[in-house]
A and B are shown apart, each in its own frame.
Chain A
């Protein structure tokens, strides 16, 4: 079983919709990252969280350490938001190793 599970695996939305992507993990962590990967492109780190909530533009990320769950929200979605969104956790007591979810492929239709 993967230590990091994301849902949904695929998501199609109309432009302007509010989007939520979920990440659940089963191990103790010291930090969680949300990453964005465009087709054929590299990976960009959107957020690093260890508690609470962070906001950057139309993106909001939250984490609940007790429930081992994080969400990435996109408000007023736009076609340029179409990408794969990946959740990655840095496990406690493993040095600095990161474990990744399989990603959520988001397509925003104009």
Chain B
């Protein structure tokens, strides 16, 4: 695709449920990032993939959060036992390689009721 695609654009779930958020990066981009943005705040780093491997997952807040990128392209961010505090916009970005410009998706607005 022409840009970074994130689905769904909006997700409403109940506390305690499991959710999956998908990111389809720009073709050929090896680096993929997940960020979380709360209202009025800048994006908060969650995890960074270089190819298929998670090069840095230090931003994941706890073990309820997990992300995969099995074929080095599409990535899925998985949140177990969702809590109201997980409500935020989850942003995905990709870049061709280290040191290249970042391209962001439109984000997934997650609302945990």
Contacts and interface: CB of A to CB of B under 8 A. Distances in A.
29 contacts: A4-B42, A31-B99, A33-B102, A41-B106, A42-B104, A43-B43, A43-B91, A43-B93, A48-B102, A86-B43, A88-B42, A88-B43, A90-B99, A95-B48, A95-B50, A95-B98, A96-B48, A96-B50, A96-B56, A97-B45, A97-B48, A97-B56, A98-B33, A98-B102, A100-B35, A100-B42, A100-B43, A100-B44, A102-B40
A102 B42 contact: yes
B31 interface: yes
Contacts, number: 65
Interface of A: 4, 30-31, 33, 35, 41-45, 48, 86, 88, 90, 94-103
A61 to B, nearest CB: 13
Chain A interface SS verdict (over half): strand
Given A43-B91, A101-B42, A102-B40, A96 B101 contact: no
Contacts of B45: 97-100
Nearest to A46: B101
Given A42-B104, A44-B104, A45-B102, A96 B42 contact: no
Most buried by B among A41, A42, A90: A42
